[in-house]
Structure 1
Amino acid sequence: MRIALLQMTSGVDPAANADTLRKAVADAAAGGAAMLFTPEMSGLLDRDRARAAASIVAEDDDRVLAAVREAAATVGIWVHLGSLALRRPDGRLANRGFVIDDAGEIRARYDKIHLFDVDLPTGESWRESAAYAGGDAAVLVDTPAGPLGPTICYDLRFPDLYRALSDAGATVLSVPAAFTRPTGAAHWHLLLRARAIEAAAFVVAAAQTGEHADGRATYGHSLVIDPWGEVLLDMGEEAGLGFAEIDPAAVASVRERIPVIAHRRPIPAVTVA
C-alpha cells in the first residue's frame, strides 16, 4: 500500500500551517496514498511562548485540527496528524498527536510521554516541561497501514515504549518530529533504524525541516524504514510531500526469520555485585 509523508517548515501562524496541511491532504490522496503522516507541531512551531500562547487553544477550538479533519473527509484519506500544541483543562499544554480516519473522525489521540529538557553543546537549551505536561499512556490504533503505535520525537530515545507497542501488536511505529540539526545529524537515522529492527516493524517518521520563523532550524530527513531496517524513503532537507510503498506482509516475514517478538522475556531485577 502507498503512504505519504509531509515534510514541513511550520511557522508561527496556524492559519498558514493549516493551508499547507489542507493542500498536503488533497495531494496525498491524489497521489494514491491511503494515509498521510505529518510532523510534530504541524499547526504551530514557536519557541516564543508568550507569543504562542494566543494561538494555543483547547482541542475543540483548534482550527488546524478542524481543517485537517474536514480535508480528510473531503478526499477520503486517513491522516496521522503528528502533533499539535493544545491547552488542557488544567491550563498546562499537551503535545498531542491524532489519528484521523477517511470520514474525518478522530480514531486515536496520543500525548507525548517524554519531554525534551536538554542543554546542547551548541548552546541551545530546551525545557519542554516548563509548559507541557507529559502523557501517561501508550496507544495502539488500527489503520489502513496496519496496527499503528504513535509516538512523538524525543520518545524515540526510549526503546521500552516501542517494545510495549510492538508487544501489543503494532506493526507500524510513527515518530513525527522536530529534531534539531545537531541531534538529527548525530542520531536520527541510527535511532529510527534501531527501533525498526528491534520491533521488526515499519517506522514512519515525518519531520520538520529548514529555518523556521521562530529562529530555530530543524533537521528534516523524513524517513520510512522497513522491518529489516532498510530505508525506503529519505526526503532530505526540502519541504514537500513524499510517497513510499509498504508491504504489511513484510512484518510477518521478518518476524519469522528473526523472531524477536516471540523471544522477548521479562527482564529480571538487576543484581548489583
Structure 2
Amino acid sequence: DVLYAELKQLANDGSDFEDGIVATGSIRLDLVTDKKILKTLVGVKKDDTFELDVNKAFGGDAAAIAKLLNISEEDAADLKSKFAVTVKNVNRLEEADLNQEFFDKIFGADVVKDEAGFTAKITEEIEAMFKQDADRKLQNDIYAQLTEQTKMQLPDAFLRKWLKATNEKLTDEELAQGYDDFAKNLKWTLIENKIIKDNDIKIEYTDVFEAAKQRLDAQFRMYSPTPLPEDQLAQYAANFLQEKENANRIFEEVKALKVFDYIKSVATLNEKEIAYNKFTELK
C-alpha cells in the first residue's frame, strides 16, 4: 500500500510544532522497516489520523525521510520529532499487464505505444530522479561547506534569550539540543541573503506561482497521469498561495533554488559518474 497523507511536525508535548515541517507526500509501506510501525499502518483508511515517528519508521533512512518531507537529507538525518499524519488517500499496488490500457493509465493517452516506449519513458524518469538526487546532494554539500567556512560570529547569548522569550514552551533541554541547528540555519539565511543582494537575484511572484503550480501538478499526477487544464491548475495554485504558510514555504524553496543555481554557475564542478548504490553511501 501507499498512503498519500499530510504530515505535521509535533513538539515533544504532542502539540503542533511552531513553524515546523508541514508536508504532503506518499508513505510507501514497503519502505517502512520497523515491523511494529508497519503493522499499525496496514489497513488504515482515508481520513484516518495517527502519530508517526518517521525516523524510526524508515530506520533512519535520511534519503527516504527527506523525500517524504521535502527537506534536505542533512535535516532529515537530525530529525527526531514525531508527526501528526492525516491520510488523504490509500493506493494499493497490484501487478498489471503491459498493454495499452496500462500505458495510458500511467503516462496519459497515447504517450507510450509499446513496451520499448514504456522502457524508454521509465528510463527518462529514472534519469530525472537521479539528477534531482544529485542536485540535492550538491545543495547539501554547498550548504555544509559555506556554513563551515564562512566566518561569522553570532550573538549566541542574545539569541538564546530571544528564543526562550518568544517560545514559552521551550525547555532548557530543548534549547540546548536544538540551538546549534538553529544557529547554523540562521547563518545560512544570512549567507543566502548576502548572495541575493550582492548579485541582484530577483524572486518574483511569477517564480513562486510557477513553483506552486509544479508542486500541485506533481501531486495531482499521483492520482491521474492526465494533466489538469492550465486555467484550473492556475486557480488551484492561486488558492494554495493564499495560505501564508504555503506561500512562505514555496518562496523559501524558490529562493534556495535561485541561490543554488547561482552558486553552481560560478563554482567549478567536477562531475563524476558512480553507481547509484555508491552514491547513496556518500555522506
TM range (shorter): under 0.3
Which is richer in helix?
A: 2
More strand by share: 1
TM-score, structure 2 length as denominator? 0.26
Q: Larger relative CO (CA 8 A, sep 6+): 1 or 2?
A: 1
Larger radius of gyration: 2
